[in-house]
Amino acid sequence: MVFVAFRIGGYQRSKDKDDKESLKVSWQVEVFDFDNVPVVPPKKELLAANLEPQDKEWMPKLRHDFLLPELADTGTYKVVISLKDEIAGAAAKAELPFKVRGWAVEPSDRLVVRNFRFVRSERDGIGLKVPAYRAGDPVWGRFDMTGYKLGPGNQFDVAYGLEVVRDADNRTLYTEPEAARLQDKSFYRKRYAPGVLNLNPQADTAKGSYTIVLRVRDNLGGQTAESRHTFQIE
């Protein structure tokens, strides 16, 4: 959650027939990423208030908060505050930069798999230095898919399947053409989509080297991609 607070000053006061003063200022808060792409819907409101004689130096304080997208990229973002004095017709604008640190996924102009890593359990995010498992232990993998095409409303539709090959004789031991399909749309683009896979080798699985052939499909862009990842059963 990001919190923004600011004060308004320098506005013009209006008087009614009874000499009572008031102010009327419209304000808007926008958020942009490092490519100047809107991150969240803009917030627009009108501040209208009656003023008392003791309010000569009053500077109203306004607050706004917003959630960053879960998969926001690393970079310098900015909050843009725009004001308009509806009485005087004057306008003002301020930009507030802030840093975002996200998960690093190298961009691509075509469908690819990035950051594949074998992990010990479903909750782990850091990859194993040596992808080795005991027979009977679950094998987990995490990866990111990027380079897929976006449709209206930043819609995307990707799917992935896998094949497990025993390296000793190049024999296919397991295949799942569509292990998962991810579909979504959002205000802000999702430049990449995380994926996860799980295998459950039998306790009598032979020791040796095995390869996961990961096949990814972009259903909107008509693209496919394949990557291979080797692990050991010890």
145/61 same-domain check: no
Q: Is 136 left (phi over 0), alpha (psi -120 to 50) or beta?
A: left
Which residue has 């896979």 as its token pair? 197
Position 19 scores a pLDDT of 80
* Parent domain of 122: 112-233
Q: Give me the residues paired with residue 49 across strands.
A: 23
Lowest mean pLDDT segment, chosen from 14-28, 33-47, 217-231: 14-28
66/133 same-domain check: no
116/84 same-domain check: no
Q: Which two tokens stand for residue 203?
A: 């306790």
The mean per-residue pLDDT over the stretch 212-220 comes to: 98
Q: Which pTM does this prediction carry?
A: 0.85
Burial of 43 (0-12, 13-18, 19+ CB in 10 A): middle
150/74 same-domain check: no
CATH number at residue 187: 2.60.40.3880
Rounded CA separation 232/121 (Å): 16
Return phi, psi of residue 49, to 5°.
Answer: -150, 145
Rounded CA separation 43/110 (Å): 35
Mean pLDDT of the chain: 95
pLDDT surpasses 90 at 122: no
Q: Which of 80, 100, 120 is the last residue of a domain?
A: 100
